[in-house]
Structure 1
């Protein structure tokens, strides 16, 4: 009668926590944005734990769908609402729709790495800017740039290194004690955003050298 329950795995419980904290963030957004942002940060932690466990023990088809649905709420709807109540409804819609498209594409593609900038990282950057009281024009502009990167075909490496994940978790937790720790989140997500470009530049230079050598031989 309740067969779906037997398909739930350990990692899915963290997905449920992800969406629960994301929903709590939506509820608190209209009372205290800073608390709402903290709920988003917790959702990101749960998403990270979920992904780490899934990479070790495997992820079911149900789990993959649940993860995408949770991400839509926590990292799509919640930051979009932040943008909307700040007076940027159009930007909010663009951010939400590109995030959903990014997740939909992720669900149907079977890739080792991400295609398009991850919505979790995008939400963390936008939320951190709100958390640090950045000028709303800068936040909205950043959200538009991130929307383009989420929709792009740029490949991003999935971070599985335990040390890196631990450092990111510590930084996120630190924001509850020292708000300025959110600057580190912005720096890390920005570094991740541009990370594919040095590799692409190197590949382009290698290809250019190869063509020159070939043309000389001919």
Structure 2
């Protein structure tokens, strides 16, 4: 019988796989151009939102939710970790310059986000069966903060790496985060697109606006969920 890929994949799954490609390219580009990598990471966030829109407008597939979770680990787990790794090695030097101890420390700090992202995804797929309960911060939120902070002018490696460590732990924190609905996603998506296309326009309005929104969601999301 085989996998019957063409029959079992939906249009939304195709968008999800495009997200994986964009996320992978962002991680690869990070080693040479962090500014472009940050823009691609935000483009991956937009693509991730699009697959949900496509899924609601057409018939999804049985494998769709799992594909989405795996892709999220690639785009919003591995790529932010690579981004942080490049930031830290550019600041402190790579393992050939800093020695094994410092190089190992940099690697552990940088890889924390992808490790916690994998743990959250695995636990979510295994233990969480309610659409209403979404414990832990979504890994896409940390990716948004990292990329918009960099595009908005926050370039200090230690500050960004420290923030990502906090977000890493937040992914397995015992707080439920809401899933933003269309009335919230649409206006934010417009500003997000501006951050991707013209990140330096209007004194970096796009990335800075998205950064403020993302940080407010990080701090107030759980409270919003309970109040709702």
> Shorter chain as normaliser: what TM range?
0.7 to 0.9
Q: 1:156 aligns with which of 177, 183, 190?
A: 177
Q: Which has the higher contact order (CA 8 A, sep 6+)?
A: 2
Shift of 1:160: 2.1
Deviates more, 1:104-113 or 1:43-52: 104-113
Instruction: Give me the TM-score of the superposition, normalised by structure 2.
Output: 0.80
Q: CA RMSD in A?
A: 2.1
Structure 1: gaps of 5 or more residues: 204-218
1:141 equivalent in structure 2: 162
CA–CA separation in structure 2 for the residues paired with 1:28 and 1:185: 22
Relative distance call for 1:23 and 1:202 in structure 2 (3 A) is closer
CA–CA separation in structure 2 for the residues paired with 1:39 and 1:200: 30
Deviates more, 1:122-131 or 1:194-203: 194-203
Return the index of the structure with the highest Cα Rg.
1
State the SS of the aligned residue for 1:156.
coil
CA contact (8 A) 1:34 1:131 kept: yes
CA–CA separation in structure 1 for the residues paired with 2:152 and 2:181: 28
Shift of 1:26: 1.9
Instruction: Give me the TM-score of the superposition, normalised by structure 1.
Output: 0.84
Aligned length: 202
For residues 144-180 of structure 1, give each alpha carbon's deviation from its aligned partner in whole angstroms, at most 9, with x where no partner exists: 111111011211111122x311112111111121332
CA contact (8 A) 1:52 1:160 kept: no
1:93 equivalent in structure 2: 111
